[in-house]
Homo-oligomer: A and B are copies of this chain.
Amino acid sequence: MKAMTLVGKKLPLELQQREDLTPDAGQVVVRLSTAALNRRDYWITVGLYPGIKPPVVLGSDGAGVVLACGDGVDRGWEGQDVILNPGIGWGNDPAVQSEQFHILGLPEDGTFASEVVVPVEQLHRKPECLTWEESAAIPLAGTTAYRALFAQGNAKPDDRILITGIGGGVATFALQFATAIGAEVWVTSSSTAKIDRAISLGAKGGFDYREEGWEKRFVAKVGAPDLIIDSAGGPGYGGLMGLAAPGGRIINYGATAGAPESIDMFKLFWKQLRLQGSTMGSPDDFSGMVDLVEKYQIKPVIDAVYSLEDTNRAIDQMRSSPQFGKYVLKIA
């Protein structure tokens, strides 16, 4: 089998020929049709992710056909079209992952390969409404968006929801999921083209977060949002606390802009705000996300499809975040 492998820190991935995989007890081997990139893969290749240990095959998202089952696995899985839940070892607490939790593609070999081996619990039948490319696009970003919106953010149809930094995979799924349940969705971006694209996907409109005072204009034009989904943090975070409606929730699944300069505690307690952290989700979040995609026939937004051999080019593209939606790898 072939695999795009991280062979050293801060190096491009290397295309390797490897032995075909065999499953241990409780595992399955999946022949991958498609995979998808996440910002996590970019952070790993530039050395900015904890626990990097080469050599490792990167890749968290994948879809394909079950090739072989290890001992104790129901043989009915063989030949089935599947997608993979990339979150391994969540544990029993819906509120938080266990210490064993990790994501496929580091430290275990991932999906940028023609084959991958995973515990059978990670399998989920491929949604019929999705192509192979779309199927690979949903697992990690879709589950992260689902958890932020629903498990942590308690999103409801009558909520006004702001999704910051539209264009990334998670933000774009959050937009699609929130729109699907009937919520009123707004976005921010530094790109007018991305805001227009968001509107075409159901957003009511958007604001350029680089413009001084955009929060005040937001409140004047739209009203305060009940729920904000953010992955930036940084200097703009205080503005989000001012922008949020009394009783509002701000959910962060990342902090690409770093730490906020300060936190206005008076706003926190007098507005009864909830500042909630969120990550990739539990097995329930994963299956809830797939159910939502099927119920509302959501079509994942794919920015571009690359060949497996072109993975480095796709990762390079992520450097300046030009994308809207997912980068997918076509493997077989």
Interface residues of A (CB under 8 A from B): 93, 95-97, 152, 233, 237, 246-247, 252-255, 258-279
Contacts and interface: CB of A to CB of B under 8 A. Distances in A.
A47 to B, nearest CB: 16
Contact of A260 (B233, B237, B263): B263
A269 B255 contact: yes
A265 B240 CA distance: 14
B265 A260 contact: yes
Given A96-B246, A96-B247, A246-B97, A268 B263 contact: no
B95 A247 contact: yes
A276 to B, nearest CB: 5
Given A252-B265, A260-B265, A279 B274 contact: no
Given A97-B246, A262-B260, A264-B259, A279 B275 contact: no
Contacts of A247: 93, 95-96
**Chain A binding site: helix, strand, loop or mixed by DSSP?**
loop
A279 B270 CA distance: 6
Contacts of A253: 269
- Copies of this protein in the complex: 2
Given A96-B247, A272-B276, 6 more contacts: A237-B265, A253-B269, A255-B269, A260-B265, A262-B262, A271-B277
A180 to B, nearest CB: 24
Nearest to A247: B96
A154 to B, nearest CB: 10
A252 B272 CA distance: 9
Given A97-B246, A273-B277, A262 B265 contact: no
Contacts of A233: 263, 265
Contact of A268 (B261, B262, B277): B277
A219 to B, nearest CB: 14
A163 to B, nearest CB: 16
Given A260-B263, A264-B259, A274-B276, A269 B252 contact: yes
Nearest to A151: B272
Given A96-B246, A246-B96, A269 B277 contact: yes
B279 A272 contact: yes
A159 B194 CA distance: 45
A255 B273 CA distance: 14
A156 to B, nearest CB: 12
B262 A96 contact: no
User: Which of A259, A267, A272, A278 has the most chain B CB atoms inside 10 A of its CB?
Assistant: A272
User: Which of A237, A246, A253, A264 has the most chain B CB atoms inside 10 A of its CB?
Assistant: A246
A93 B247 CA distance: 9
A94 to B, nearest CB: 9
Contacts of A258: 265
A254 B269 CA distance: 6
A40 to B, nearest CB: 13
Contacts of A255: 265-266, 268-269
